[in-house]
């Protein structure tokens, strides 16, 4: 399917500026909120469509799990392989059981919601099973809905506010440098199509990681003044979890690994990941993640061979050490 075709699938080449070879992510288009007249709050009315590999999906599943919303907002996982037809159901993912279409590809659900839709077909998707409509496909807004509108239905950590009013300005400031330089920064490295574009993203990434390492030498969490985890930590965590196993090699982010080059970041990652007795570990599937990145990005990894390493024995679940 060509990049100029209507209903184009997610193709990173469509987001590369050809004159400079830079990857520039386009904005999500479905931006409604639960709690409105059109989308009232109800238990088991909405579902998330996610991919295990996707860090933007992962942040939504982290909040969903931390808040105990598993039965309130069920999840349908797409297959790990992203091919020419886009995200697909079945195979190693779940069947579509929510749209009434028995859809084979996610694009069918996008067109169900808007028959004239043109643009990327992406995950995560917050979907209204009653009206058969996409509510929102912007992860940063979905996690805030779960923290706010869905919190009255939370069965876990209901008193935990991930976006407290007294810290919102600080959280917003952190998000403003973490997102472009780290969350999206690894993609800017991996999807760059010219050397200069890659090097600019690479240097920005590691400059920011160096600064983060310094911050975490004296702070338990990333937001100054926070005594508990906030949305900023949960937005950062998925990128950190994937860094050494995928981004270091696949996206050429190979100046330093977290495990051997950033002890404060590495131990911070483990501390956040091990919250609530390790309940968040159920949100991360390493095998599915590696299969997606190395198997789907054929312009980066031509034969789709998935590496067997690195050895991650004890990488996520060993005790963390932070002298704060």
Quick count: other Cβ atoms within 10 Å of Cβ 118?
A: 12
Is 54 catalytic? The answer is yes
Is 248 catalytic? The answer is no
Q: Which of 90-94's residues contact partners 24+ apart within 8 Å by CB, and which partners?
A: 92/288, 92/291, 93/51
- Can you say which residues are annotated as belonging to the binding site? 87, 120-123, 138-139
User: Of these residues, 10, 46, 52, 187, which one is catalytic?
Assistant: 187
- Can you say which residues are annotated as belonging to the binding site for glutathione? 87, 120-123, 138-139
User: Of these residues, 54, 57, 189, 253, which one is catalytic?
Assistant: 54
The position carrying tokens 């060509």 is 2
Question: 3-state SS string over the chain?
Answer: CCCCCCCCCCCHHHHEECCCCEECCCCCCCECCCCCCCCCCCCCCEEEEECCCCHHHHHHHHHHHHCCCCCCCCEEECCCCCECCECECCCCCCCCCCCCCCCCEHHHHHHHHCCCCCCCCCCCEEEECCCCEEEECCHHHHHHHHHCCCHHHCCCCCCCCCCCHHHHHHHHHHHHHHHHHHHCHHHHHHCCCCHHHHHHHHHHHHHHHHHHHHHCCCCCCCCCCCCCCCHHHHHHHHHHHHHHHHHHHHCCCCCCCHHHHCHHHHHHHHHHHCHHHHHHHHHCCHHHHHHHHHHHCCCCCCCCCCCCCCCCCCCCCCCCCCCC
| Cα–Cα dist 266/209, whole Å | 11
- What residues are annotated to the active site? 54, 187
């Amino acid at each position: 399917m060509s990049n100029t075709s209507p209903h184009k699938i997610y193709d990173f080449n469509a987001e590369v500026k050809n004159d400079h070879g830079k990857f520039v992510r386009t904005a999500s288009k479905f931006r409604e909120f639960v709690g409105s007249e059109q989308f009232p709050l109800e238990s088991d009315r909405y579902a998330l469509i996610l991919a295990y590999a996707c860090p933007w999906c992962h942040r939504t599943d982290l909040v969903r799990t931390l808040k105990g919303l598993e039965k309130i907002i069920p999840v349908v996982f797409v297959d790990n392989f992203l091919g020419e037809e886009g995200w697909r159901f079945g195979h190693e993912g779940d069947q579509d059981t929510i749209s009434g279409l028995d859809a084979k590809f996610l694009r069918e659900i996008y067109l169900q919601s808007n028959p004239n839709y043109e643009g990327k077909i992406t995950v995560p998707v917050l979907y209204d099973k009653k009206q058969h409509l996409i509510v929102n496909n912007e992860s940063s807004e979905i996690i805030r809905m779960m923290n706010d509108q869905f919190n009255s239905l939370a069965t876990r950590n209901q008193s935990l506010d991930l976006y407290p009013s007294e810290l919102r300005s600080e959280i917003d400031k952190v998000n403003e440098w973490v997102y472009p330089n780290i969350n999206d920064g690894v993609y800017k490295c991996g999807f760059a199509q010219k050397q200069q574009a890659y090097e600019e993203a690479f240097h920005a990434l590691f400059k920011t990681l160096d600064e983060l390492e310094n911050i975490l030498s004296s702070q338990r969490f990333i937001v100054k003044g926070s005594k508990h985890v906030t949305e900023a930590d949960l937005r950062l965590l998925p990128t950190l979890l994937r860094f050494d196993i995928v981004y270091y090699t696949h996206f050429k982010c190979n100046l330093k690994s977290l495990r051997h080059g950033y002890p404060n970041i590495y131990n911070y990652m483990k501390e956040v990941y091990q919250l609530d007795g390790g309940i968040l570990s159920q949100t991360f599937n390493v095998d599915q993640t590696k299969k997606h990145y190395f198997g789907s990005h054929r312009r980066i990894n031509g034969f789709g061979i998935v590496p067997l390493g690195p050895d991650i024995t004890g990488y996520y679940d060993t005790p963390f050490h932070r002298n704060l």
